[in-house]
Structure 1
């Protein structure tokens, strides 16, 4: 069985999608459609930067999605792939869940871009700059990370945001609490804590205003029927009902990305092949989480041609 997976924030870099756009009119069409939907020249920022503009949450989120969907569309139109025939599941890391839903037909490309723009903006606006932070714990499992978060909180928010793999967990919350967590890593048997270069504390209760904004957005743009089952971030369980998808997307803004558990759930459901479209971020996490599975990362034209032959 095969799962197509889609990367989250942090996988953006200046120059993304350029080679694909030069090689394929289909890819260029995707980037143009996203630009039109957003009323901005997002592809120009992806192509030329500056990096500071691309890293802005409201740009990074639709850009990462557009890049992955461009890869998928080229695979579909030039490689003859029909996703619903080849994929048993789709999944994505945080914003990648929206990409997965776009791939599965729950949202149009234009709507996905607009939803992610709003999501990025709302997440940025939920907490004043400098009040929140996130840190990656290296050499930490979920038990150690949870204990550390509880010890560092001291009445503030400090919680597990992403359970990425057996060696990497991300905490999110108030800046002072995150700094305390980094200072306490050794006491909790964790190798290292690294402050992440993010502009807001994602996936924690401080994001509630952004969750409210997304709930309102889904009134106007609810998810449609899925052509492929989704493995949801916040439950690490399969979901196919659009109303349930909508509820979980709202919950996801403040909730934990259970990526490690999602990968295990996919493997337990029979997935032995993971294909990451538009990045090389999830592949290593999957490899550290489950053994004896095939992992392919697809970014450029050569990757697409190789995969098209193989599917």
Structure 2
């Protein structure tokens, strides 16, 4: 289906109960959560379904949990409709969602993906001392305005970079706290609608994350990566690849690099993608893409009801 891409959400979409309805409805889904639990040596599924949201939101838990839900959704889709990642033109994921995309496309085993995300979560959390880093959202800004704000932020001597280009008018900065504060002041003084600090545990996707990138380089060196069944559109390049060596390097580089989500969606649309299916928790990417390309059909695959609606759409379309 050349017009379909599967997309996978990143951190922030977690919630208690995530994936439970899928596990209750589909035996194939239960095995996903059991395999992740075994790989981590932790009853993560119990935390996801009956635990404390503060504990689930810890980066080391949220990352593998979100991946498990995404892969579970894809397994459920295959059980209900016979569709899999191989039926899409591309897969793409936002930040940690890139791991979910690769697992769903057969590039990395489920157990390895879970272990990698536990390492990634711990490494990202531990890369910067509490209070030294910050992130801020610039609402209504374009990339040029965000870049100018970063220049002002770096004038303090600290790190200040665009971490996420999520959608037109929705950019996120990351770096040293004083630099981010200065960048926000510059943005507000130069026509940006709103500059607001984000409640995050660390300054993700900037050079302060280099220790985490080093940890991921070591972890990924011991993991088998295969060519995915369809190309993955990478965060760091907004371009497709199926080369395992390139995928490995992209996963290292994305820890400190910009999530180029706007460009990733634009690339897929330019290649004929007309519909996306967001596998996993929430609908953040589906909502964001409306700001990027209004013509895209967006579906979510987080619950049995979502799967039913998407399957009905697929069956009613000669070409997706």
TM-score class, shorter? over 0.9
Query: Distance between the aligned counterparts of 1:78 and 1:290, measured in 2?
Result: 29
Query: Distance between the aligned counterparts of 1:9 and 1:131, measured in 2?
Result: 21
Correspondence 1:280 to 2:280:
no
Task: Report if the CA contact (8 A) 1:133-1:172 is conserved.
Answer: yes
Alignment correspondent of 1:304: 307
Alignment correspondent of 2:317: none
Alignment correspondent of 1:218: 220
Pick aligned residue for 1:32 from 31, 34, 43: 34
Tell me the C-alpha RMSD between the 2 structures: 1.2
C-alpha deviation, 1:63, in angstroms:
0.6
Query: Distance between the aligned counterparts of 2:51 and 2:181, measured in 1?
Result: 30
SS of corresponding position for 1:254? coil
Correspondence 1:15 to 2:17:
yes
Pairs within 5 Å for 1:34-113: 34-84=36-86, 86-113=87-114
Query: Distance between the aligned counterparts of 1:108 and 1:22, measured in 2?
Result: 23
CA deviation digits over 1:82-115, x for unaligned, max 9?
A: 321x201000000000000001100011111100
Pick aligned residue for 1:292 from 278, 292, 295: 295
Task: Report if the CA contact (8 A) 1:76-1:83 is conserved.
Answer: no
Specify every segment of 5 or more residues in structure 2 that has no aligned partner in the other structure, as ranges: 315-320
SS of corresponding position for 2:37? helix
CA deviation digits over 1:5-63, x for unaligned, max 9?
A: 00001111122112222222222221111111100111111112311111111101001
Task: Report if the CA contact (8 A) 1:222-1:246 is conserved.
Answer: no
SS of corresponding position for 2:134? strand
Specify every segment of 5 or more residues in structure 1 that has no aligned partner in the other structure, as ranges: none
Query: Distance between the aligned counterparts of 1:45 and 1:229, measured in 2?
Result: 33
Query: Distance between the aligned counterparts of 2:246 and 2:237, measured in 1?
Result: 11
Query: Distance between the aligned counterparts of 2:139 and 2:62, measured in 1?
Result: 24
C-alpha deviation, 1:148, in angstroms:
0.8
Query: Distance between the aligned counterparts of 2:224 and 2:27, measured in 1?
Result: 30
Correspondence 1:234 to 2:259:
no
Alignment correspondent of 2:116: 115
Q: How many residues align structurally?
A: 310
Query: Distance between the aligned counterparts of 1:55 and 1:177, measured in 2?
Result: 26
CA deviation digits over 1:259-296, x for unaligned, max 9?
A: 00111111111111111111301011111011322111
Task: Report if the CA contact (8 A) 1:34-1:113 is conserved.
Answer: yes
Pick aligned residue for 1:155 from 150, 154, 157: 157
SS of corresponding position for 2:255? helix
Pick aligned residue for 2:191 from 189, 201, 223: 189
TM-score by length of 1: 0.97
SS of corresponding position for 2:123? helix
